[in-house]
Structure 1
């Protein structure tokens, strides 16, 4: 029952993503990354990426692999049914981190980065336009709808575009739709990880979610509010930025006794 109204709480419907915009966002962000990576010198590619033992070269290879996985998923036989929903995906990736890192390192050693990106761009151009969003595809974390898998690629690209920018000191543009989809998926994952309606998390202009157990607020300004910008949110959700640091540097505004999210962050690593 809803504490505020005494009526049954309605289950929130999953967020719907426009497949046309998602396709365009993935291609646009991949294009931004390809342009930056194509201009890197060997010395820049060999710099540490501040992600474990990865170099910038391995980070770049990983991003090409993340988009190339769309092609591999569409070329494999379709599984019988979906096993992983979009809301479950952020929590399913961590157990595969070691294998992902190994595969990225092998890919980086297999060919020049520019060649990897050219190959993926050609393959995606061939298979993506005709792909059906409701088709079930095999992914590393389990079978998913292709449309959902496509949304997860915006997270991979946006998060690692930010990693690439910080590792190289270069400006990597963010496609607006890719940034929006990434922000929303990670915000929705927070609501799954910490269900409730006592705290409102605002990430303008892309997302507002309610989370954390406690009294439900229905009118006026909620007593517990967290607000931040999309890039800070993405860094918090993926462990690139710590909650205490974001608060100290005024990157997050938090008010109310249930507005401390340190216990539920990060969402994914």
Structure 2
């Protein structure tokens, strides 16, 4: 199965969760994430799908400039450059992420779910004609990634925030297909090893007596 298909599988499970009545009922309540409502968290989760549509857009007019086509950077370099990874909760970056999530969700649960499902339907067609090696420009960062690498970043976000949203409204976290879980787990391991070192991960997985207190990836 291609990474495009794996991403679509993760997005489809996300849509089912966004459409759950429990999410709409708790829309204005605090979520499991600090300083973010259930609606804001749902908005942030839906944005991960919407962002794929944004990078797949093709200029449809001579008045529109095509996006820059710089060589794509490696996936781990993408995270090394990301400002949000080590930013404090109250810092400008994370405050902006929360504000964007709340803004995306401002028109309510039903509207957000329909918007995400419309984007998903368009992506099913658009992705079928895309190659995983092609470069896609990320306007929110200013650099490019391979399409497959970008989709792995979206699957990571969807996996993590589906769990956050499910916990926030008292639902079980959606079970991920193996073709989604495997690349997400591999990326998390690589990020954790970069942060803590290989020995820390090996000990956490195999030697409880020497395991470090934490091996968080992000």
Q: TM-score range by the shorter chain?
A: 0.7 to 0.9
Aligned mate of 2:177, from 171, 175, 178: 175
Q: Tell me the CA shift for residue 266 of structure 1.
A: 3.4
1:7 maps to none
What is the aligned partner in structure 2 of residue 122 from structure 1?
121
Structure 1 unaligned blocks of 5 or more: 1-19, 202-224, 229-252
Tell me how far apart the structure 2 counterparts of residues 34 and 89 of structure 1 sit (CA, whole Å).
26
Q: What is the TM-score when the length of structure 2 is the normalising length?
A: 0.78
Question: Is 2:204 aligned against 1:226?
Answer: yes
* Structure 2 CA distance for aligned equivalents of residues 200 and 62 of structure 1: 29
Structure 1 counterpart of 2:14: 33
Aligned residues: 197
Asked if 1:254 corresponds to 2:208, the answer is yes
Q: Higher helix fraction: Structure 1 or Structure 2? A: 2
Q: State the TM-score, normalizing by the size of structure 1.
A: 0.65
Q: Structure 1 residues 100 and 200 mapped into 2: Cα distance closer, same or farther (>3 Å)?
A: closer
Say which is worse superposed, 103-112 or 81-90, in terms of deviation: 81-90
Shift in alpha-carbon separation, 1:83–1:25, aligned structure 2, 3 A = closer
Gaps spanning 5+ residues in structure 2: where? Answer: 59-65, 88-92
1:23 aligns with 2:4: yes
Higher normalized strand content (fraction of residues)? 1
Larger radius of gyration: 1
CA RMSD of aligned residues (A): 2.4
User: Which residue in the other structure is 2:90 paired with?
Assistant: none
Partner of 2:137: 138
Q: Any conservation in 2 of the 1:64–1:120 contact (CA below 8 Å)?
A: no
Q: Distance in 1 between matches of 2:14 and 2:213?
A: 31
RCO comparison, higher one (Cα < 8 Å, 6+): 2
